[in-house]
Structure 1
Amino acid sequence: MADSTVTPANADAGEQSLARSVSPTRRHNRVHRQRLRAAWMFLIPMLVVLAAVAGWPLMRTIWFSFTDASFSDISNYSMIGFENYLVYDNGAWYGVLADPSWWRAVWNTLFFTVVSVGAETVLGLIIALTLNAQFRGRGWIRAATLIPWAIPTIVSAKMWGWMLHDQFGIINDLLMTLGVIAEPLNWTANADLSMWAVIMVDVWKTTPFMALLTLAALQMLPSDCYEAAKVDGIHPVRVFFRVTLPLIYPALMVAIIFRILDALRVFDVIYVLTSNSEDTMSMSVYARQQLVEFQDVGYGSAASTVLFLIIALLTITYLYLGRKQFGGDA
C-alpha cells in the first residue's frame, strides 16, 4: 500500500505551487483595476463637459416641453403636463402628435433620409471602388473628392441656392443650352422639385463621407482572397458580391447609421434652400419654427423632444442589434 502521509517538504512544495498559480491572477486583477481607474480619470473630465454642453440643455428642453413657456417671458410659465404632446379638448385632439404639419415634416424627413442616404451609399461605394484601383494621379483625385465634404454645409447650400436660381442660376442656363428644358425652373420653390433639389445638394455634399469610410474598409481587405479568385478565373462582379461586399459590410453599416442619424436631424441645408416651406420642412425645421418664429418654447421643446426620442430609439436599436450580432459571432 502506498504511503499517503503528507511530509513537510510535500506541503511546502504544494503551497509554493498554489502561490505561483494564484499570483499571476492577482497581478492580472490588479493591473485591470489600475487600467480601469486610469480610464475613468481620462473619461470623467470629458463626461463633465458633455453633461454641461449637451446634458443640461437636453434636460432643460425636456422640462420646457411640459410647460406653457414662451419667449416673451420665459421665466414665467406653468406646468401643463403632456398637453404640448397630445391632449383631447372639446371634441378634438391638439398637440404636436395631432398636428398635420408635424406628420408632414416627419414624412419629409423620412423621405429625405431614405433617398439621400441610399443614393450616397451607392455613389460612395462606386467612388471608393474607383479610388481603390491603381492609376496615375490617384492621390490628387482622392483629395479633390473630399472638397464637397470639407465645405461647410451653410456655404455649400447657399452656393447651390444661387446655382439653382430660376433667373441667374447656372443649372438652368446649362440645361437650356443642352435643350433639356425649354424655360427656367424654380428648383427651390416648386413643390414638385424642391425636395429633389435639397436631396441633390445633400448627396453632393455627403457622398465623399461615405466614399471615405468605404475606401478605408477596402484598403484593409486581405489580398489573398482576390489572388485566389483571380487564379480560379472568377468574374470580378461575382467576387464583389461574394467577397468584397461581405467583408466591408460592418464598416459600410457604420457609415450608413451615421448618415441616417445625421439625416434625421437635418436642418441647415433645407432651411437655407427652402426656408419654412411645408413641401420640404423637416422635423428640425418644424421645431425651429415653433420655437423662434411662433415664440412657443413649450410646444417647440415638445417637438424637439420627440425628435430626440426618435433618434435615441434608433441608436439604441442599432447598438442592441450590433451587440447581439457580435455576441452571436463570438
Structure 2
Amino acid sequence: MAQASSLTRARRRSAWLFLTPMLVILACVAGWPLLRTFIFGFTDANLSDLGGYSFVGFENFYAVYDGEKFGLLADPEWWQAVWNTIYFTVISVSLETVLGIIVALVLNQEFKGRGLVRAAVLIPWAIPTIVSAKMWNWMLHDQFGIINDLLMSLGLIASPVAWTANPDTAMVAVIMVDVWKTTPFMALLTLAALQMLPSDCYEAARVDGIHPVRVFFKVTLPLIKPALMVAVIFRALDALRVFDVIYVLTPNNPNTMTMSVYARQLLVDFQEVGYGSAASTLLFLVIAFSIMAYMMIGRVRLDEGGH
C-alpha cells in the first residue's frame, strides 16, 4: 500500500514537472495579455495614448449620470451582438452536430473508396477560414456569384439575392458557410467515437431483429454521447468567439455583428481601448459561464441516465 502511494506521488511529481514549462509559457503568452485586458477594462485608455489612462471603475460596464445610463450593459448594440453570437452558436453548432453524426455514420460503413471519401470530406475543414470565407463571399455575390446563377437556373429565385448584404439573409449566409466549414470536424470526432464502440452490441441487436433506427437511439447515441459532448464544447467555444468568417462576409453589419467583432470595432476603429477591453472581458465571462452551464446540464443528464 505504501509502495503504491509512493508510486502515485512520484507520477504526480513527474506530471507537474512535464507540465510546468507549458504552464509558464502559457502564463506569459496568454495569462499576462488576458490580465492586462481585464485591467484596461476599468480604465479610459485610448489607442493613441496607452500610457495616459486613468481608472474609471465600472463606468465602462455600467454607470448612471443624471438619470441616463451609460456603459456596455446599457448599450443596445452590445446586447444585439450578444444575441447574434448566441443565435449563431446555437444554430450552427446544432446543424454541425446533426450533419456530423450523419456523415460519420456513412463513413463508418464499409464501401469501396471509403478512404478517398474520408479525405474529401475533410477538405473544407483543412481550408483556412479566411480563404473559405472569401471564397464563399465571391460565390454569394449578387452580381457574379455562382450561387445566384445556379438558383436562377433552377428557377428557385427570380432575381439575384445579395446574401451577405440583405438583413434577412446575412445571418443565414454566415451560418451556412460556417456549417460547410466545420461539419467535417464534428464528423471526424464522431467517427473516432463510432470506431471505438464494441461490435457485440450490434451483433446482438441484429440477431434480435431490432430496427437500425432504434439501435442508433438506444445503443449508438448513448455510447458516443461523451465524445459528442466534448466535440460540442470545442465547437461552442469556437462559435462564441467567432470573428473571421463574420468579418470577411459581413463587415460592420449590425445584423450579424458578434461580440468579438463588436470588441474589435471599439478597439481598432474607434480606438477606445478601455471600452473595448471591457467588451472583451464580458465576452470572456459569457463564454466561461456558457460552457460551465453546458457542462453542468450535460452532467446532470448523464447522472439521470445512470439512475
Match of residue 210 from structure 1: 186
**Residue 31 (structure 1) aligns with:** 7
In 1, Cα distance between equivalents of 2:213 and 2:300: 31
Which amino acid in the other structure matches residue 115 of structure 2?
G
Give the deviation of 1:37 after TM superposition: 1.2
Q: Does 1:161 align with 2:137?
A: yes
Letter in 1 for 2:188: L
Question: Residues of 2 paired with 1:37 and 1:237: CA distance?
Answer: 48
- Once residues 142 and 187 of structure 1 are traced to their aligned partners in structure 2, the CA distance between those partners, rounded to angstroms, is 30
The alpha-carbon deviation at position 113 of structure 1 amounts to 0.7
Separation of aligned partners in 1, 2:104 and 2:222:
15
Higher Cα Rg: structure 1 or 2? 1
Shift of 1:320: 5.1
Give the equivalent residue in structure 1 for 2:103.
127
Is 1:101 aligned to residue 77 of structure 2? yes
1:59 to 35, 43, 49: 35
Identity %: 70
Confirm or deny: 8 A CA contact 2:229 2:298 kept in the other structure.
no
8 A contact 2:267–2:277 mirrored in 1: yes
Q: 1:55, 1:320 → 2: CA distance?
A: 26
**Aligned-pair CA distance for 1:316:** 3.3
Distance 1:220 1:181 in 2: 45
Which of 37, 43, 47 pairs up with 2:23?
47
Structure 1 residue 183: Cα displacement? 1.1
**TM-score (normalised: structure 1):** 0.90
Gap change, CA 1:95 and 1:244, over 3 Å in 2: same
CA distance in 2, matches of 1:102, 1:225: 50
User: 2:143 is aligned with what amino acid?
Assistant: Q
In the alignment, does 2:163 pair up with 1:187? yes
Partner of residue 204, structure 2 = 228
Residues 324 and 52 from structure 1, CA distance in 2 versus in 1: closer, same or farther, beyond 3 angstroms?
A: farther
1:112 corresponds to: 88
Q: Describe the SS at the equivalent of 1:313.
A: helix
1:262-311, Cα deviation, whole Å (9 max, x unpaired): 11111000000000110100000000000000000000000000000111
Amino acid at match of 1:304: S
Q: Which runs of 5+ in 2 are unaligned?
A: none
Tell me the distance in 2 between the aligned counterparts of 1:27 and 1:306.
Answer: 49
Letter aligned with residue 126 of structure 1: I
Measured on the aligned residues, the alpha-carbon RMSD in Å equals: 1.6
Separation in 2 of the partners of 1:31 and 1:119? 47
Residue aligned with 1:226, SS: helix
User: What's the TM-score once normalised by structure 2's chain length?
Assistant: 0.96
Measure how far apart 1:118 and its partner are. 0.8
8 Å contact kept, 2:42–2:56: yes
Deviations 1:92-145 (A, max 9, x none): 110011100000101111111111111111111110000011100000000000
Return the match for 1:259 from 235, 248, 255.
235
Deviation, 1:324, is 7.0
Q: Which amino acid aligns with 1:197?
A: A
Find the counterpart in structure 2 of residue 272 from structure 1: 248
How many Å apart are 1:315 and its aligned residue?
3.0
Aligned equivalents of 1:324 and 1:39: distance in 2?
30
Deviation at residue 322 of structure 1 after TM alignment? 6.0
